[in-house]
Structure 1
Amino acid sequence: MLSLERLFPGHSLLWLTFFAGVLAAWSALFAMQASFELPAGWQELGPGYLLSLCAGSIADAGFPSAVLMWSLMSLAMMAPTAFPAFKTYSDLAHTDAASGRSLAALISGYLLVWLGFSFVAALLQIRLTEFGLLNTLGQSTSEILSGGLLIVAALYQFSSLKNACLSACQNPMTFFFSHWQPGNLGALKLGLRLGAVCLGCCWALMLLAFVAGTMNLAFMGLAMVLMTLEKLPQIGAKLSAPLGVFLFIAGSTVVALPLMPNLF
C-alpha cells in the first residue's frame, strides 16, 4: 500500500480498487474457460455460474449472460489501455484541477461507454449464433464473416475517424485541456467523452473477438497489448499502419483460400 501511495499519491485506494477490478475481470474470464475445471463442491458458487456461461451456446445462455461476458471482456481489455489517460487526469489533482471523486467519476463515465458497447456486442453475438455464423465459443464458422471483419478492421485503421480518435487517446493532456469541465459531473461527462473516443479507436479491433473466439484468452491478451501500444504516441505512430496491412492480408487470405480449389 505504501508503494502504491508513492506511485499514486493521494489516490492509492482508488487505484487499488481499479487494479483489483481489472484483475478480477481477468480471473472471471479465466474461470469461464470451457477447459477450466473447478474443485469438487464449488459448482454452486459464483465461479460455477461463470463456467456455465460457456457450457453451451450463448444464445441459450441468454442476453444477460452475454452482456456479463462482454462487460468482463471490456473491463479486462479496455480499462488497461486507458490507464495513461487516467494517470494524466490523476496528476492534475496536484494542480487542484481534479480530485479523487472526480477521478472516480471520470473512470465511471469511461466504463459506462464500454458497458453500452457490451450490450450491442452481446446482442450481435446472439443474433449471429442464431443464424449459425458463430459456434458455442463465439467463433465465426463463416470464412466470409471472418474475412469481412478482418478487412473492415484493416480499412478502419486508415480512416480519418480512427486517426482522430487515436490522436486524442495518444495525447490525453491535450484532450483534457480541450474539453475540460469542472466538478464531479464535469468529470463524468469528460469520462463519457473519453470512452466515446476510445470506442471510436478500438471497436473494430474488439469485434475481431468473433474471429478468434469471444472466450479466447490469448486473443484478449494480444488485443489488449496491441491497443495499449497503439495509444502510446511514439509506438502507436509506427504500429497502426502495419497492423492495418497485416489485417488486410489476413482477411483477404481467409476469404480467398476457400475459392482457390475452384480456380484449378
Structure 2
Amino acid sequence: MRGPHWLALFALILAAWAALYAMSIPADLRAAGRVYGADFWADLCNLTPDAAGFVRMTLMWALMSASMMAPTALPAFATYEDLSHTGAETRIPALVAGYLVIWLGFSVMAAGLQLALLRNGLLDPFGSSASAALSAGLLAVAGAYQFTPLKEACLSKCRAPMMFFLQHFEEGAFRNGVRLGAVCLGCCWALMLLGFVGGVMNLGFMALATVLMVLEKLPDIGRWLTRPLGVALLAGAAWVAITGI
C-alpha cells in the first residue's frame, strides 16, 4: 500500500476518527444528563429534532461511516489495486469515492431514522436509546440478520474481492466502488444501527464494532465469527427484554 492515494485514504480515516473524538460526549456529561433530565439536554443545544439537528446527525453518521467502514474495506481496495499488475487500469480514488457514496446515502437514512426516534422520545439528544424495547428490537434484528442468506451472500463477496472485481471490472473504478459499497452495506447495516444501543457518539462502542466488522470480512476468521456473534446479539436482546435494562 504505497502511493499518495493510500496516504490520503489513511489521512481521511484518521481525520474522521479525530472528528468523532472531538464530537464525543464525555461519560460525566452523560451522567449529568441522566440526573438533570430533558431540560439539561435542551440547554446544551445538542442534536435537536429540527432541520439543523438533521444536518448535524447526517454529518455525524457520515463521519462514523467513513471511520468505521473504510478500514473494513482496505483489503478490497488493496486487491483492486493489485489488478494493475495485470496491466489493467485501476483508480483507487474513484473506487473509494464510489464506496463512500453508498455510505453517504446510508448516513442520510440513518439520520432520518435518528430524527424520527428522537421526536418520539425513543432516543436522547445524544443518540442513545431511551427505550428498552427499542434496544431489544435492534439487537434482535441484528442478531437474526447474522443468519440470513443475504448476509452470507454479501460477506462471501467481501471475503473474495478479487472474484467480485473480476466479474465487474469493465464497469470502471467508480461503479465498482458503488457495487462494493452496496455489498458492504448489505453486510453491516444492522450492526451499524446498533449505534443507537451502544451510543451513537460512544467511541468505545464504535471501536469495538469496527474491529468486529473488520474480522468478520476476513476469510479465515470471519466464518467462525458471524453466527456466534448472532447468537450473542440474540441473547443480548433477550436479556434487555427481560430485565428492561
* TM surpasses 0.5: yes
Find the counterpart in structure 2 of residue 221 from structure 1: 207
Match of 2:46 among 56, 59, 63: 56
Cα separation, 2, equivalents of 1:201 and 1:57: 28
Partner of 1:199: 185
**Counterpart for residue 104 of structure 2:** 115
In 1, distance between residues paired with 2:178 and 2:71? 16
SS of the residue 1:194 aligns to: helix
From 22, 39, 48, the equivalent of 2:13 is 22
Q: How far apart, CA to CA, are the structure 1 residues paired with 2:156 and 2:24? A: 35
The structure, 1 or 2, with the larger RCO (C-alpha pairs under 8 Å, 6+ apart) is 2
1:142 maps to 2:131: yes
Per-residue CA shift, 1:176-209, capped at 9, x if unaligned?
A: 1122225xxx211111011000000000000000
Partner Cα separation in structure 2 for residue 250 and residue 209 of structure 1: 15
**Post-superposition CA distance 1:147-203 (Å, at most 9, x none):** 000000000000000000000000001111122225xxx211111011000000000
CA displacement, residues 4-52 of structure 1 (integer Å, 9 cap, x when unaligned): xxx42xxx1000000000000000000012339xxxxxxxxxxxxxxxx
2:241 is the counterpart of 1:251? no
Deviation at 1:62, TM superposition (A): 1.8
Change in 2 beyond 3 A, CA 1:55/1:228:
farther
Q: State whether residues 132 and 141 of structure 1, in contact with CA within 8 Å, keep that contact through their aligned partners in structure 2.
A: yes
CA contact (8 A) 2:140 2:233 kept: yes
Give the aligned residue type for 1:88. Answer: T
Aligned counterparts of 2:23 and 2:209: Cα–Cα separation in 1: 19
Query: Which whole-Å CA distance do the structure 2 matches of 1:258 and 1:81 have between them?
Result: 33
Aligned partner of 2:155 in structure 1 is 166
Distance, in Å, in 2 between the alignment partners of 1:77 and 1:58 is: 24
1:157 aligned partner, one-letter code: Q
Which residue does the alignment assign to 1:45?
none
Instruction: Indicate which of 203, 206, 217 corresponds to 1:231.
Output: 217
Contact 1:85 1:172 in 2 (8 A): yes
Aligned partner letter, 1:206: M
Alignment partner, residue 240 of structure 1: 226
Which amino acid in structure 1 is aligned with residue 70 of structure 2? A
Give identity over the alignment, percent: 56
Unaligned runs of 5+ in 1: 1-6, 37-53, 260-264
1:92 is matched with which residue: 78, 83, 96?
83
Q: What is the match of residue 140 of structure 2?
A: 151
Are 1:63 and 1:122, in contact at CA under 8 Å, matched by a contact in 2? Answer: yes
Distance 1:56 1:189 in 2: 37
CA distance in 2, matches of 1:240, 1:199: 15
- 2:119 corresponds to which of 114, 125, 130: 130
The runs of at least 4 consecutive aligned structure 1 residues that moved more than 4 Å come to none
Structure 2 distance, partners of 1:98, 1:133, is: 49
- The question of whether the paired residues in 2 share the 8 Å contact of 1:58 and 1:138 is answered with no
Q: Which runs of 5+ in 2 are unaligned?
A: 28-43
The count of residues paired between Structure 1 and Structure 2 equals: 228
Contact map agreement 1:26 1:76 (CA 8 A) in 2 = yes
State the distance in 2 between where 1:246 and 1:258 align: 17
Per the alignment, residue 67 of structure 2 pairs with 76
Distance 1:118 1:63 in 2: 11
Please give the root-mean-square deviation of Cα atoms over the aligned residues, in Å: 1.6
Q: How far apart are the structure 2 equivalents of 1:93 and 1:110?
A: 19
Separation in 1, partners of 2:54, 2:224: 39
Q: Distance in 1 between the 2:137 and 2:26 partners? A: 29
Output the TM-score relative to the length of structure 2.
Answer: 0.89
Aligned counterparts of 1:55 and 1:74: Cα–Cα separation in 2? 24
Match of 1:212 in 2: 198
